[in-house]
Structure 1
Amino acid sequence: MTKLSVNINKLATLRNSRGGNMPNLITSAKDIESFGGQGITIHPRPDERHIKYQDARELKDVVSTEFNIEGNPIPKFVDLVLEVKPTQVTLVPDAEDAITSNAGWDTIKHKDFLVEVIDTFKKNGIRTSIFVDPNVEMVKGAAETGTDRIELYTESYALNFANGEKEKGIKPFVEAAKMANKLNLGINAGHDLNLQNIKFFKENIPDLLEVSIGHALICESIYLGLDNVVNMYLHRLK
């Protein structure tokens, strides 16, 4: 079964909008795991506009499933990850002012940098994943960095699916996944996956290990309830 890691950034955004502690991220993470969630993902950004660095420290002692921290490996982020030592770190090439992640790594151009960062994390027992576009050459480049996994950036798939072109949308992801399998890279995926498009994606990507879903899952939960939505995803990922 593909694991579901729930990204709780949007819950932090809601909390921060009032300056208090509602919703409480610690309680939310515990509840998500009790509902069946198999991991918690956070993506702290330098301005801490949603997840704060202190949230990562506090969640470390609470998350009993997989703990995944995403972000651009600037020095401040690297220091945080080495302090917290999550199950997995996912490297994302965010610009500081990016609203959300919008591109994967050029694993060829940035190979030397990625090799150095990944080596540092792996020496500290932290599994590494690189956010990549569904491009066979970028997957090959990722394998050269020493990373354990890649995370396929699925926005283009989601857009094509919504436009009724799911076969067109899934094709580059299937090719990228086959190359990753050939190179012994684990496969994660995330970005704009939702209850409508997740099943088709799962059915077509060989050996998909994990999906990280936040924005859609939280939006769907407003209408359907968090416990219910987590289990709806789990059913589609079986």
Structure 2
Amino acid sequence: MTTPSSLTALSVNLNKVALVRNTRHLGIPSVLRAATLCLQAGATGITVHPRPDERHIRAHDVHDLAALLSSDWPQVEFNIEGNPFHNLMDFVRACRPHQATFVPDSETQSTSDHGWSFPSDAERLRPLIAETQALGVRVSLFMDPIPEMMAAVKAVGADRVELYTEGYAASRGSARAPEVLARYAETARAAQAAGLEVNAGHDLSRDNLTDFLRAVQGVKEVSIGHAFVADALELGYAATTRDYLRCIDEAQAAK
């Protein structure tokens, strides 16, 4: 299955499936089974964020998913997220996913909570971006919605940015919401004007995804994990996948 180029791709982040599995030693719920059910229902990507402490996704999960996608789902994008100064590059070199998303998280924080900063991060990122691209892997940098930084992201060699969307999600229903959403739209335009493609992720959900995609034009991919797995606990993987695809379709229909 393929996604038309005009549509935003849905990449399902499986971290929280692994987190539940790791509380026991039974191997359930299965990360591979979750990936398969989501892909059968129409998801077009799989994302994992393996942290050094293996609190959720473990090294074998990354390799097992790479093997599954390569053999059974070659058209599906595999996105590995992480800090390139911790353990991410080992997975990039071994698995050569379609995309590596560089995230500046510390080893102890519970989840990603900020993007890279330019120009301060530029020189240390540059050689790792070049190495990753030499392996045939697209590089996306996790970024806050700061339009002024987009040209610097392009200058350092990245292919995409992933807009960190917690600020958007947290602003919903507040007086600041229109201003915050406009900032994301402005950042996406600045990225695209600089020659970058745009992804988005963090705290996107069925409640806020359509409005985000209506306002922020040209988003190539959304990566959704926490809300997706929470929904799947109630609806199942397949129904949850289809409902997120509905949100994407509704945003597209409004354009």
TM over 0.5: yes
Give secondary structure in 2 for the equivalent of 1:141. Answer: helix
Aligned residues between the structures: 238
Letter in 1 for 2:145: P
1:139 aligns with: 150
Which residue of 25, 36, 39 maps to 1:33? 39
Residue 17 of structure 1 pairs with residue 23 of structure 2: yes
Whether 1:229 aligns to 2:235 is no
Q: TM-score, normalised by structure 1?
A: 0.97
**Which secondary structure state, in structure 1, belongs to the residue aligned with residue 210 of structure 2?**
helix
Deviation at 1:70, TM superposition (A): 0.1
Query: Which amino acid in structure 2 is aligned with residue 222 of structure 1?
Result: L
Equivalent of 2:84 in 69, 73, 78: 73
- Structure 1 residue 223: Cα displacement: 1.8
* SS of equivalent residue, structure 1 residue 232: helix
* Residue number in structure 1 paired with 2:57: 51
Moved more, 157-166 or 205-214: 157-166
| Structure 1 residues 117-170: Cα deviation after superposition (integer angstroms, max 9, x where no partner) | 100000000011000000012222211111110000000000011446431220
1:79 Cα deviation from its structure 2 partner: 1.7
Considering only aligned residues, what root-mean-square deviation do their CA atoms show, in Å?
Answer: 1.2
Aligned match of 2:120 in 103, 109, 116?
109
In 1, the alpha carbon distance for the partners of 2:83 and 2:237 equals 29
TM-score under structure 2 normalisation? 0.90
SS at 1:19 equivalent: coil
Please say if 1:60 is aligned against 2:66.
yes
Per the TM alignment, residue 71 of structure 1 is displaced from its structure 2 partner at its CA by 0.1
Give aligned-pair identity as a percent. Answer: 39
Equivalent residues in 2 for 1:158-197, closer than 5 Å: 158-163=169-174, 165-197=176-208
Structure 2, gaps ≥5 residues long: 1-6, 250-255
Cα deviation, residue 183, structure 1? 0.8
SS at match of 1:18: coil
- In 1, Cα distance between the equivalents of 2:88 and 2:190? 30
Answer yes or no: is the 8 Å Cα contact 1:161–1:169 preserved in 2: no
- Determine if contact 1:198/1:237 at 8 Å carries over to the other structure: yes
Gaps of 5+ in 1: none
Q: Which runs of 4+ in 1 moved over 3 A?
A: 162-166
